[in-house]
Amino acid sequence: MKIYKIPTWARLTHMQLTFSGAIIMAMGSVWVHYTACQSSLKSYNATDTDIDIEMYFTPEDPCMDLIIKKILSAKKRILVQAYVITSEKIARALIQAHQKKIKVQLLVDKNTQSSKGSKIDLMLQYGIPIIIDTPSPFGIAHSKTMIIDDTYVITGSFNWTDGAQFKNSETVVIIKGKDSNRKFKNNWYKRAKSGKKLKSIR
């Protein structure tokens, strides 16, 4: 039986082709992910011509006071997304706005109500509508956002807790712009539509 040996030059060519093919496939995969990401980003580009962005950082800046000031300045609507709400000041400000006939609505994580120090049941007692966000069976609703009227959005890493102001290093971004507000608002309503209304556990 004859044994045929592949010449060295042929083996190198085969290896080069295999390596080149792997690079092309990898680049193709990267390009697909890149273009998909670019496509996704384009759909959320804001077109505000008068956009104004303010940035604040805890514990140095008085972020809690700035947030409460924005809540109390609302004229018709406050839409909240929250992972947790334990701040008495923020809860009371939202209740005060609700009592002034401002349309206050909350979209929260499924565990927010049972979190230690949660103010969810307090707000339910005052008639504020609260919806459980359900991103997936095992996911969490981790957004920290307030959409105020048709102009302002407050977002960032700042949870609606006292710890976010006095203990943690957090970021608060206040965006003024109608188009940005509309995009956040559309996302809020989309999430709320697939959620379920929360009832008091007391």
What CATH number should be reported for the domain holding residue 120? 3.30.870.10
Question: In whole angstroms, what is the distance from residue 32 CA to residue 177 CA?
Answer: 32
- Whether 191 is covered by a domain: the verdict is yes
pLDDT of residue 156: 92
Does residue 165 lie within any of the structural domains?
Answer: yes
Residue 55 burial by Cβ neighbours in a 10 Å radius (0-12, 13-18, 19+):
exposed
**Domain count across the chain:** 1
Domain for residue 8, yes or no? no
Closest Cα to residue 133, out of 125, 123, 121, 145? 145
Which of 122, 98, 126, 102 has its CA nearest to residue 112?
122
- The answer to the question of residue 33 being in a domain is no
142 is catalytic: yes
- 144 as an active site residue: the answer is yes
Q: What is the 3-state secondary structure (H, E, C) of 127-178?
A: CCCEEECCCCCCCCCCCCEEEECCCEEEEECCCECHHHHHCCCEEEEEEECH
Q: Provide the whole-model pTM.
A: 0.74
Residue 154 lies in a domain: yes
Q: What is the pLDDT of residue 185?
A: 97
Q: What angle do CA 154, 158, 160 make, to 5 degrees?
A: 90
In a domain, 182, yes or no: yes
C-alpha separations of 45 from 42, 76, 121, 133, 175 in Å: 5, 26, 37, 24, 14
Question: pLDDT for 5-60, tens place per residue?
Answer: 445 544 444 445 444 444 444 444 434 343 333 434 444 555 666 789 999 998 99
Q: Is residue 6 part of a domain?
A: no
Catalytic: which of 70, 109, 133, 149? 149
Q: Is residue 169 part of a domain?
A: yes
Question: Could you say which of 142, 162, 176, 179 is catalytic?
Answer: 142
pLDDT computed for residue 27 by the predictor: 43
- β-pairing, 152-156 vs 77-82, is unpaired
Q: Which residues of the chain have pLDDT under 50?
A: 1-6, 9-15, 17-43
Domain that includes residue 71, residue range: 52-197
